[in-house]
Amino acid sequence: TLKACLFDLDGVIVDTARYHFLAWKQLAEQLGIDFTEEHNELLKGVSRMRSLDIILEIGGKTLSEEEKTALANKKNEVYLEYILKMDESEILPGVKSFITELKNNHIRVALGSASKNARLILKRLNIENLFDAVIDGNKVSEAKPDPEVFLNGAAELQVEPEACVVFEDAVAGIEAAQNAGMFCVGIGDITILKKANLVIPGFADFNLEKLQACMQE
Ligand code: B16
Ligand code: MG
């Protein structure tokens, strides 16, 4: 039986990919690297440092660790300017009412995100109080598809992995959920997220009853 739901942040609860893109684009321009929205797809669900490595690979540049840390910090400052302007209106359709429905049915809720800014974003969206646990980029050492982030979430909630469902928009995140032994719902395009147990375009037309029906099949 279902006891807990674990949510990815970017692409599931909010679309921060746009702000990551704008911040990385500004940095790439300063480095003389042509960084496109298509390239940005490669960064979804990936850590900040790994994202920078991917951009440097695109531009054919090698930098020292010190230079890279400075650039990653610089990108984050620009990204934070966008994040600080966010509000509740940017929560993706249906997700807040779905989480509220879970809470009303005594199903525990956790965040499982690669972002080190996750808590700040939840605060800006005014939904921090909906989460019984927040596992973010500050708490994990292994990136998705490693199951660490979701196993930590289950452990903090004191729920066995088999009783958890993960909501993810990235292929690596779906693999992480499967590596954790959890049922996984993909949010997005079924042709890309085909490994998920169930794929939905978003939460607008979704509810607990539908989730439970799919889990019993
Ligand atoms: P930060 P998620 C991920 O969030 C983003 O998809 C990814 O593009 C970003 O690089 C990563 O967080 C780290 O973010 O720079 O804020 O620590 O999808 O795992 O919620
Ligand atoms: Mg994501």
Inform me whether the pLDDT recorded for 136 exceeds 90.
yes
Helices 171-179 and 148-157 pack at an angle, to 10 degrees, of: 50
* Cβ of 136 less than 6 Å from ligand 1: no
- pLDDT value of position 66: 98
Smallest-distance ligand from the CA of 41: 1
Smallest-distance ligand from the CA of 79: 1
- pLDDT value of position 169: 95
The answer to whether the beta carbons of residues 202 and 169 sit under 8 Å apart is no
> Per-residue pLDDT averaged across 73-84, rounded?
98
Atom of ligand 1 nearest to the CA of 50: 10
Q: Any catalytic annotation for residue 8?
A: yes
- Report the amino acid identity of residue 60: G
Residue 35: which residues within 8 A CB-CB, separation 6 or more?
A: 24, 25, 28, 29, 55, 58, 59
Tell me the chain's radius of gyration from C-alpha atoms: 17
> 60: left (phi > 0), else alpha (psi -120 to 50), else beta?
left
Nearest 10 degrees: CA dihedral of 72, 78, 79, 80? 110
Q: Where are the beta strands (DSSP E) in 43-182?
A: 108-112, 133-135, 164-168
- pLDDT value of position 203: 98
Residue nearest to atom 5 of ligand 1 (CA): 45
* Cβ of 45 less than 6 Å from ligand 1: yes
Inform me whether the pLDDT recorded for 87 exceeds 90.
yes
User: Could you tell me which of 44, 116, 34 has the C-alpha nearest to residue 83?
Assistant: 116
Inform me whether the pLDDT recorded for 16 exceeds 90.
yes
- pLDDT value of position 41: 87
* Cβ of 51 less than 6 Å from ligand 1: yes
As for the ipTM of the complex, it is 0.94
- pLDDT value of position 58: 97
The Å distance, Cα 94 to ligand 1 centre, comes to 22
- Report the amino acid identity of residue 5: C
* Cβ of 47 less than 6 Å from ligand 1: yes
pLDDT digits (tens, 9 = 90+) for 138-156: 999 999 999 999 999 999 9
Inform me whether the pLDDT recorded for 217 exceeds 90.
no
DSSP 8-state code for residue 166:
E
pLDDT digits (tens, 9 = 90+) for 182-197: 999 999 999 999 999 9
As a whole number, the mean pLDDT across the chain is 97
For 122, the token pair is 């939840």
Q: Any catalytic annotation for residue 10?
A: yes
